[in-house]
Amino acid sequence: MQLTGTTLALIQLGAVFFGLGVLGRVAARVGLSPIPLYLLGGLVFGTGGLIELHEVEPFIHLASEIGVVLLLLLLGLEYTAGELVTGMRKSWPAGLLDVVLNATPGVIVALMLGLGPTGAIAMAGVTYISSSGIVAKVLNDLGRLGNRETPVVLSILVFEDLAMAVYLPVLTAVLAGVSFVTGLTTVSIALTAVTVVLVVALRYGRYVSAIVASEDREIFLLKLVGSALLVAGLASAVQVSAAVGAFLLGIAISDSTAHDATKILEPLRDLFAAMFFVLFGLSTDPRSIPPVLGWAILLAVVTTATKIATGWWAAQRAGASRLGQARAGTALVARGEFSIVIAGLAVAAGAVPAEFAALATTYVLLMAVIGPIAARIVEPVMRLLDGKQPVRVDSGAE
């Protein structure tokens, strides 16, 4: 048997895809997000892991970049510009509380570990933002989409997404080590782009949708992916995050075109996003995890409590019951894809110590598991605390 470079790459890539499929099935069987298992898969096959897959690293690196673009594009497709503006007006007090309570622990731990100001800014984003993908899946699985507290949860997620549109350009400028003036220029460009896109989406969204729309699925897919990569690349060229560019494009596409785009892009997003999580695992040496494990557990405990407090307070303001307040709090606990996006940007820029990747990976592994479990057990726990008999609850309806 003769194994050329291409042959070996195909074998390794096939093994990676098949292995991810098996891990995804295992995650579905136990009712958890596959993200922690994808990260573990990357740890096994990366530097310092059991088997090192060097032949497929260039492909996985490019695929992971596309995965981030598609993740943010799909996120933008979920909202219209009007919904974003309305959500911001309603949720800004809870959104600000969310920032203070959940970004602060990341900053403190990063500084205590000596990761420096850059590591602190990046870790603030890692601990701040909930995983909208995991949260949406948990709400759907538990039948809570129609609950009174659910709009509160969604409005906080919308606030986080908008905060991310501002945060990512700032982080990108900090990671690049640019001057204060250059950084300020970058942020100004990003804010201007956000404003322009919201105005265009509100007034002329139907024209943007018409440009990418097509009755032919192949042409529609090519237009969507092409426009997303084009916008992401142009955004990077003016030092705005490629992910933010894709997010803004998603907001500008609306109505039935956005619905059709979501359906046609979801399988591609899942495929390439899996590559992103694997790449992050590949870039983390498993031997660097034990020294930061205690810190990751401490962060997980603290930020679980702070997320619950955020959701509880926001749902209380909205008039939800005590049980609804608890459900809102636990629904927000999970961190996942966007925490890894932030950590991935920091690691790729080479602006943070190796401990940062290990801490971020371990933290997200813990939170992606704790979040869904907390959301599932909150109802029996609250009934016990209220002195009632626990009952099996398939629906979250009050």
The string over 276-313, giving b where at least 16 C-beta atoms fall within 10 Å of a residue's C-beta and e elsewhere, is bbbbbbbbbebebbeebeebbeebbebbbebbbbbbbb
Q: Give me the percent of the chain exceeding a pLDDT of 90.
A: 18
pLDDT at 46: 67
Q: Mean of the pLDDT values across residues 25-40?
A: 78
pLDDT at 11: 85
Its pTM stands at 0.73
Tell me: the pLDDT tens digits for 331-378? 999 887 788 888 888 887 777 887 888 899 889 888 888 888 888 889
Q: Mean of the pLDDT values across residues 70-89?
A: 74
Tokens of 14: 């096939």
pLDDT at 302: 97
15-50+59-381: CATH topology is: Na+/H+ antiporter like fold (1.20.1530)
Residue linked to tokens 């602006």:
351
* Rounded CA separation 333/326 (Å): 11
Q: Cβ distance 333 to 371 under 8 Å?
A: yes
Tokens of 41: 């898969």
Domain ranges of the chain: 15-50+59-381
Q: Cβ distance 369 to 32 under 8 Å?
A: yes
Furthest-apart CA atoms within the chain: distance in Å: 69
| Residue 397 scores a pLDDT above 50 | no
